[in-house]
Structure 1
Amino acid sequence: MDALDRLALRLRALPPSCGPVRLIAVDGHAGSGKSTFTTGLAAALGGPDGGGVAVLHLDDLASHAELFDWTDRMFAQVITPLSAGETARYAPYDWVGRRFTAPRALPPAPVVLVEGVGAGRRALRPHLAALFWMERSADASWQRGRRRDGDGLADFWNRWTVAEVRHFAADPTRPFADALVRECPEGYEVLPGLSATAGPNQIVTLGD
């Protein structure tokens, strides 16, 4: 059993945190590998088609005008309905067309993974069953992201990095993470996080 399979077992055993849902956040710098890790974790949990897990990408809630000011939208479209055991309906943002599109359903699955920069922000932490931080430095993450996106998005990256630094300076995630995720040549290493308030139901012993 690899790290993601062990992690999936522990996540399923956590108590619900948002209505009937175990809301799990995956945060980290842009380019740190959040989406890839979340995809692997969703597969270990059974995959979206299995009904046991759903995935929300915060790129769908952010926009050019509101890179980080999406908290109210998150609560109105996602947190409030999930807390009531209802299907959430959020309007994904089209980054090419620069507009929000038709609503997409997000069911109150036993586990809902939320990945994106700022997923572990202060306002959301009371609704989380666990919070993961991708353990890659800002510079290394941004260099990776710039290589991935190419020169055509250089201006956007310049704007983004300024906004990201400002966000984490005001509302850091890493000190509150239950676990730190380090990408390895093969798979992942998941280590206890820095959260001083982690209790017995939290993910704090994933390295064993």
Structure 2
Amino acid sequence: MAGAGLDEQVALVVDTVRRRAPRARAGVRLVTVDGFSGSGKSRLADAVGLTLVAPVLSLEELYPGWDGLAAAVPLAVDWIARPLAQGRPARWWPWDWTRGARAGPRELAPAPVVLLEGCGAGAAALRPFTDTAVWVDAAPDVREQRLRARADWPGYAPFRARWAAQEDAWHATERTAEHADLVVRT
């Protein structure tokens, strides 16, 4: 969906989610929101979550540091997707970016809709648990401008090239955008 504003993008995602029956017998609809850094994943996921009164979980809590994009996906399967699909609470140990170690556990009870956003959310390993996969796209210069405008840019800037290389390699292999149910251009 190119050129639409946030309200129209949210309406499209919400309508798609509501039309689909839950894949899991437990009744949880897992919606994944994937894309490159700065594409608008968090903004879209948060707005959809507000509209659907659904929790939004971020893969940022699962990445084990600046080299952990690929390592977060199996954790998302084991800690979040599989338990929710089975009607059990999701339980994960968020990464403490300041300490560089896992923090104490967090838990989320099954809900009618749960959004999982972040680079890697549309991974092949998560697809069997995903009811709606959303790819968020933006031009590289727009993404970079957004990243530099974020409050956390000073802490992110030293790692930007390292993280971007992981994203490029990840999406070249996973081809996540090709498997999305919806593509939203921000």
Question: TM tier, shorter chain?
Answer: 0.7 to 0.9
Paired residue type of 1:40? A
Task: Return the TM-score normalized by structure 2.
Answer: 0.86
Distance in 2 (alpha carbons) for counterparts of 1:165 and 1:83: 30
Paired residue type of 2:172? A
Q: Show the 5 A alignment for 1:1-208.
A: 3-5=9-11, 7-18=13-24, 19-46=26-53, 53-64=54-65, 65-148=67-150, 149-183=152-186
Distance in 1 (alpha carbons) for counterparts of 2:9 and 2:177: 20
The alignment partner of 1:168 has SS state of helix
Distance in 1 (alpha carbons) for counterparts of 2:12 and 2:137: 19
Alpha-carbon distance, 1:71 to partner: 2.3
Distance in 2 (alpha carbons) for counterparts of 1:102 and 1:120: 26
Distance in 2 (alpha carbons) for counterparts of 1:2 and 1:172: 26
Alpha-carbon distance, 1:68 to partner: 2.3
Task: Return the TM-score normalized by structure 1.
Answer: 0.77
Paired residue type of 1:58? L
Paired residue type of 2:181? D
Aligned-pair Cα RMSD in Å: 1.9
Paired residue type of 2:101? R
Larger Rg: 1
**Regions of 4+ moved over 6 Å:** none
Paired residue type of 1:168? H
Alpha-carbon distance, 1:22 to partner: 0.7
Distance in 2 (alpha carbons) for counterparts of 1:122 and 1:3: 24
Q: Which residue of 1 aligns with 2:4?
A: none
The unaligned stretches of length 5 or more in structure 1 are 47-52, 184-208
Q: Cα deviation per residue 1:131-160 (whole Å; 9 max; x = unaligned)?
A: 111121344313421332434432211110
Alpha-carbon distance, 1:182 to partner: 2.5
Worse-matched range after superposition: 92-101 or 111-120: 92-101
Query: Higher relative contact order at CA 8 Å, sep ≥6: structure 1 or structure 2?
Result: 2
% identical equivalent positions: 36
Q: Is the 8 A contact 2:30 2:81 kept in 1?
A: no
Number of residue-to-residue matches in the alignment? 177
